[in-house]
Chain A
Amino acid sequence: MIELKNIEKYYATKGVKHYVLRHVSTSIKQGEFVSIMGPSGAGKSTLLNILGMLEEPTYGSYEFMGEDVTTLNERKRIELYRNHIGFVFQAYHLIDEMTVYENIEAPLLYKKIGGSERKSRIADLLDRFNIVAKKDLFPNQLSGGQQQLVGIARALAAQPSIILADEPTGNLQSAQAEEIMNLFQKLNKEEGITIIQVTHSEKNAQYGNRILHIADGVIKEDLVV
């Protein structure tokens, strides 16, 4: 599903190249549950963002479902992105001005999904995450765990084939974190959704079936759990 070859990424600050990723090559297959681990500043988020097409690598090639992402034009890339990728953030990143319902609805609107289909999908998600009663509340009226559930529901709404999660439990208490991890595991096992998460916690990494260890922008270890 994902094929990375020799990915490099640097930021140039005042003409000085500051490398974040070096020679990253790996492949991830459909249905895998991968955890990316490593010290702070190692380049984990950068790698995830490149996978999620939010950032472009400086060098190297990236194939997503057989398409070379680096050569796609913006319209095609957004198309690919809308249809296949769901993002979950550490800081939830819900839109403050939208209700829970509208937050989940937004990606469906961008995908131009019809009204009735939209309604049934959202109803389904609200039901599944037990947040039906909260659907008309705004994000600032929810707890962190609830916000993250909404974040995941939003990522799932577009029925992506892969979920990219950047420290999804980083801001949560352990009980809530466990709930989220169980959810990911279930999605992975029962629906075959590919999951790539960045995490600092060994325990969370154990939910998956593969761990990539990154340090200084280089993959140091690739373990199967």
Chain B
Amino acid sequence: MFKLNLKIALRNLWKNKGFSLINIGGLAIGLASCMILLLYIAYEWSYDKQYTNADKTYVVYQNAPANGKIFSWAWTPNIMANEIAVKIPGVKYASHASYTSSKLISVGNNKISSRLNFADPNFIKIFDYKFIKGNPDQVLKDVNTIILTKSLSEKLFGNEDPINKTIKLENQEVLKVEAVIEDVPVNSSITFECLAPWSLFIKREPWAREPNWGNNMCLTVVQLKDNKFLAEANADMKGIYKRNQQGNTAEALLFPLTKWHLYDDFQNGKSVGGKIEQLKIFLLLAFCILLIACVNFMNLSTARSERRSKEVGIRKAIGSSRKSLIGQFLLESVFITLISTIIAFILVEVSLPYFNNLLNIGLQIDYKSISFWGTLLMLMIFTGFMAGSYPALYLSSFEPIKVLKGLKIKSDASVSIRKVLVVVQFVFAACLIVCTSVIYQQLRYVKNKPIGYNKSNLVQIAVQGKMGNNSKLDLLKTQMINSGAVTGVTFFSKDITESGNNTTDVHWQGKPAGESILFNNRGIGSDFIKTIGTELVAGRELSTITKKDSNSIMLNEAAVKMMNLKNPIGAKIGYWGVEKTNIGVVKDFVVESAYQKVAPMIFYPSYMDDVQVIIARLNPNQNISSSLETIDNLVRQIEPDYPVNRKFVDEAFEGKFQNEKLLGTLSNWFGGFAIFISCLGLLGLALFMAEQRKKEISIRKVLGASTANILTLLNKDFIKLVAIANVIAFPLAYIIINRWLSAFEYRISISALPFIIAISLSVLIAILTVSIQSVKVAKANPVDALKYE
């Protein structure tokens, strides 16, 4: 029977090519969308879980109360790890590492800017990287050594064995290669291309040698012997700052490594979510799209039920039980699911590179993974049964005798269920349209919100190697301005689009006692205000030409407000133990999140010792590409050993919207697919309805109805359904999107526009879909239909 039923299923597919195409196409697109989303979710979900003892590994967070809030981050003092290893119960390993940064690594003339991290030997006990060459017990001990990842080793040494060969770091230290490890998985929070000993870090940065509980400068990771020690350890961690440094108000906590990536949003010292929220949305989206595709299938199958009722009747009359009929219809739907899955595979493989490019990640199907095939099988069975169950139950329930007697099957129930299904589909579709529009509105709003400086035509060049020297920087500045390529050049102690570098070591008259307030601190060069295009609200600008401002600072507006200074100019501010004078107030500008209020900032004159970037404003009267070439050449003349690391500030600034852009893009694409699949379903239904009403339409035409009349008639029902769907969708969408928006300090208020877009778009799409099909019927010669009755 199985073979015969399969044959029949194939014949049915072939005979009704239109239906089959819609069915399989819809299901394939649905499955493909679902697969891509699930791949993405799995990718994000598996972050940091690759290590053997990942579940026992914790990242040390500090909760620092400041400005009436609690700031939480995974930056800790250099001696935290030792203290933990000795004093905290249940700890197996404690290790500290720097955060990864780009450094120049060279072998002979082969110079590569690589991502380097520094760590102590415990680091590779906590994270069991796969060693290809070298002894894990011996590495990270001697100062002048380094571990390379496989791909960096290949870039530097080709196929040669790198062990015991040497590389040069930043053209300064000569390091011996001790080991080669597999590349760090891309979905890790801690990534690097090479790993060097902590002792080397100290050698390069002597200030980092002194134990200092007040300077949070590295990452501390801890592995517990067993998770049962967690509560005890955490209780002990809490007071670790206070115990070691008087007056330190920070508290430490152990945060699970496996949650680091997805739950990194802290409020009041507790994780309240993070990227996980987005993943949940995507999971819901994946499920809904699949559901919509299944609904399509159900719709079309039941719509065709009248045609199949005869078969059901006969089968029952020649001895089929209901069970075997249900089996037959389920077989058909599983079979169609199988075909769709194969097509979905092709779609996924074809579109993955595109999505990877779009999302800037490396998703791929792991054909060797059991869990992949397991999930796929589950997905197929779920889809097959989900899509096939209702048609199977419905069709198999026909009483043979009624069918064979030629009585009309009462199709009221099935019609209304079909209507419900169409409504369900369009509720999803309308919800998605509303949400996507709001996401875009919000994104546009924050993007267009003034950020306090003019980020267009502004380039930023990283200071590397020999450039980081007072006279060289001055020379570069002069040369750049003289070349005419730029109209202004200044220096900054941090990438202007990045957060970081802050201190609570700021004191002023009237500061509430015992309160800790966090200030961003940045060193600036001369011409800062003019170059970045911000404004000086009061006072004058810091100059670094001479040392006369070495005891002066500037504040931003937020800092003035925070300090509650009546006369900010001339105010005495204690900063890192030295009394400074404020000489200017700078307008607030965004360096951190564009969604949040600008935090207080202190500017100090940087005498080039801690300059990280050169910021230059391009000359608007020059051709941009030739200006850039000029700049690159000048930089290369001063530091020929490094590739020029230059970027546009506005492009870098875009990085702040990465998450929202991702959400917007994905919901746009997959929302589009959901709508498309719904339309396929509608098309199928219209196809069927128009055929069923052929005779009625013909009679109406004979009676004098115009094509337009007929179209209105056919469209009316569908429009009603779509309208109902919108009415249901609106409050739903409002709740969802309102929740999403509430996470932003700066947000748009929800307007009527997204809802208007949703209803007009969905109605328009519905009319188009239905009309494409019904125009044919409406225009057909009525005699043709009536003749054959």
Residues of A at under 8 Å CB distance from B? 45, 49, 52, 54-55, 74-75, 78, 81-82, 87, 89, 91, 93-98, 102, 105-107, 109-111, 154, 158
Contact = CB atoms under 8 A, between A and B. Distances in A.
7 contacts: A54-B401, A75-B321, A97-B12, A106-B315, A110-B324, A154-B318, A158-B318
A87 B12 CA distance: 25
Contacts of B400: 54
Given A106-B4, A110-B324, A154-B318, A93 B12 contact: no
Contacts of B310: 93, 96
Contacts of A111: 319
Contacts of B313: 93
Interface of B: 1, 4, 7-8, 11-12, 15, 310-311, 313-322, 324, 400-401, 404-406
B404 A98 contact: no
A-B pairs, 5 with minimum CB distance: A82-B319, A110-B319, A109-B1, A107-B318, A54-B401
Contacts of B11: 97
Select the residue from B4, B11, B310, B317 with max chain A CB neighbours within 10 A: B317
A174 B501 CA distance: 103
A105 B315 CA distance: 12
A178 B327 CA distance: 40
B788 to A, nearest CB: 15
B318 A55 contact: no
B321 A107 contact: no
B764 to A, nearest CB: 38
A25 B406 CA distance: 28
Nearest to A74: B321
B405 A45 contact: yes
Select the residue from A89, A96, A105, A154 with max chain B CB neighbours within 10 A: A96
Contacts of B320: 110
Given A55-B401, A110-B324, A97 B15 contact: yes
A78 B324 CA distance: 12
Nearest to B401: A54
Contacts of A102: 4, 7
B405 A158 contact: no
A93 B321 contact: no
A13 to B, nearest CB: 12
A49 B4 CA distance: 27
Contacts of B311: 95-97
B17 to A, nearest CB: 15
A74 B11 CA distance: 31
B319 A107 contact: yes
Contacts of B318: 87, 106-107, 110, 154, 158
B118 to A, nearest CB: 72
Contact of A93 (B4, B319, B404): B404
A137 B310 CA distance: 19
Contacts of A82: 319
Contacts of B316: 54
A105 B4 contact: yes
A39 B406 CA distance: 19
Contacts of B15: 97
A56 B580 CA distance: 102
B319 A81 contact: yes
A98 B7 CA distance: 9
Contacts of A94: 314
A58 to B, nearest CB: 14
Contacts of A45: 405
Contacts of A52: 317
B37 to A, nearest CB: 37
Contacts of B406: 91
Contact of A98 (B8, B317, B319, B405): B8
A40 B4 CA distance: 38
A91 B313 CA distance: 13
Contacts of A55: 401
Given A75-B321, A95-B314, A97-B311, 17 more contacts: A49-B401, A54-B316, A74-B321, A74-B322, A82-B319, A87-B318, A91-B406, A93-B310, A93-B317, A94-B314, A95-B8, A98-B8, A106-B1, A107-B319, A110-B320, A111-B319, A154-B318
A109 B313 CA distance: 17
A183 to B, nearest CB: 19
A110 B7 CA distance: 16
Nearest to A158: B319
Nearest to B12: A97
A105 B8 CA distance: 13
Contact of A110 (B1, B8, B401): B1
Given A87-B317, A93-B404, A110-B318, A98 B4 contact: yes
A97 B8 CA distance: 6
A93 B314 contact: yes
Contact of A89 (B1, B319, B324, B404): B404
B337 to A, nearest CB: 20
A74 B7 CA distance: 28
A154 B11 CA distance: 21
A99 B752 CA distance: 59
Contacts of A110: 1, 318-321, 324
A78 B401 contact: no
A35 B314 CA distance: 23
A81 to B, nearest CB: 6
Select the residue from A52, A97, A102, A107 with max chain B CB neighbours within 10 A: A97
Nearest to B316: A54
A100 B271 CA distance: 70
B301 to A, nearest CB: 15
A106 B2 CA distance: 11
B317 A54 contact: yes
Nearest to B10: A97
B315 A95 contact: yes
A118 to B, nearest CB: 11
Contacts of B324: 110
